[in-house]
Chain A
């Protein structure tokens, strides 16, 4: 199912929200998340796992505004792209004046499993306050050859080793789903995707 989804989040004093985003192949989507941490001590946690395959197009935009002191946000995005798929990520963190002791972190890591898949990441930090801890990190890459060789040298066949590494990459996010039966359902969906769309 293709579609546009937008989410507006306002977090007042001491409110907290944990959001987990699961994007499966065959349902390309355009997702916009705008969050304002307007109260002191508010906290936001966004985790996202995307598997893009074939001609999927995923666009994920986040805009997190820290407007109060002592609030924290933590975002982690993990993307796997195979086939001719495309994943675009743009993540903006803005720390307004007066938002002292803010902690804001954002990470976006992508694994490219075909020559024609494309991932673009665009992190953006705007900071107008002192005494803040902010960081962002983005990587786009292939399966790590050293990790693969280490596993193969222990007798784990190449395909099994790759599949373990790819699954562990996404399951870091999936493991955060607290509801056991929902977590198992999502795991099965991703496992099916790995079987259906093997990378190179």
Chain B
């Protein structure tokens, strides 16, 4: 049985705005260790705003409510502190970073996380081993390591690179923001196989999606429907079927 100590993330009455427009209007959500949650909703419901607020994007202003992650006040933490604490956001639109190779990017990301945990920097050979293993885990061509982050990557390659970073950074809570958008079936399968392979009893995920398709590959324990900035339904897989047959308007 789950107990209070299993609570990983607790969102209480969260309100957030962008440029004075309220997008999130009282979100309540509890994620326990080992759970996979799906958040579904129509366009404009606030799905991406929720993921951006959890990752700490400064364009959004939290006007009230609280978010606790592993007992800490998440909203008081910088984006990098959230990453060090174990949060990972897979972007709907991964950002291209010209001039910074995946190698240099990952070296900085891994070593900064280690530094925050009081660990020494990785030795060259240790770093290369992680890169090799994690790229292989998502079937990514090792030649990508020398390329600038996401620059000139196809949609599928960008999403695969997100999951590779997730594998290497070993987060406690992964938030996948519309990871399925722009993916063909093969790419979707590779990405979701990667996500499923990374699942452990001590990690959790929030899968944000508009469509049922991704949830056939990544099976959620709990499904939420987000509409107009609020969670209007919470339940199991039957909600996914209902939406598929009747649309969001029927809810």
Interface residues of A (CB under 8 A from B): 146-147, 149-158, 160-161, 164-165, 168-169, 171-172
Residue of A nearest to B89 (CB): A153
Interface residues of B (CB under 8 A from A): 55-58, 78-80, 82-84, 88-89, 91, 94-100, 104-105, 108-109, 112-113, 116, 165, 169
Rounded to whole angstroms, the CA-CA distance of A155 and B105 in the bound complex is: 10
Contacts known (A160-B112, A165-B100, A168-B100); A152 close to B105, Cβ less than 8 A: no
Contacts known (A146-B95, A147-B97, A172-B99); A153 close to B108, Cβ less than 8 A: no
Report chain B residues within 8 Å CB of A165.
97, 99-100
Given contacts A154-B169, A164-B105, A165-B100, 9 further A-B contacts (CB under 8 A): A152-B83, A153-B55, A153-B82, A153-B88, A155-B83, A156-B80, A156-B109, A158-B80, A165-B97
Q: Which of B57, B99, B112, B113 has its CB near the most chain A CB atoms (within 10 A)?
A: B99
Report chain B residues within 8 Å CB of A151.
97, 100, 105, 108-109
Report chain A residues within 8 Å CB of B104.
164
- Determine which of B79, B96, B100, B113 lies in contact with A149 in the assembled complex, contact meaning CB atoms within 8 Å: B79
Rounded to whole angstroms, the CA-CA distance of A169 and B100 in the bound complex is: 9
Rounded to whole angstroms, the CA-CA distance of A157 and B105 in the bound complex is: 12
Q: Which of A147, A150, A168, A169 has its CB near the most chain B CB atoms (within 10 A)?
A: A150
Report chain A residues within 8 Å CB of B165.
154
Q: Are B95 and A154 in contact (CB under 8 A)?
A: no
Rounded to whole angstroms, the CA-CA distance of A168 and B98 in the bound complex is: 8
Q: Are A154 and B105 in contact (CB under 8 A)?
A: yes
Q: Are A155 and B109 in contact (CB under 8 A)?
A: yes
Contacts known (A152-B83, A153-B83, A153-B89); A164 close to B57, Cβ less than 8 A: no
Rounded to whole angstroms, the CA-CA distance of A158 and B112 in the bound complex is: 11
Rounded to whole angstroms, the CA-CA distance of A158 and B108 in the bound complex is: 11
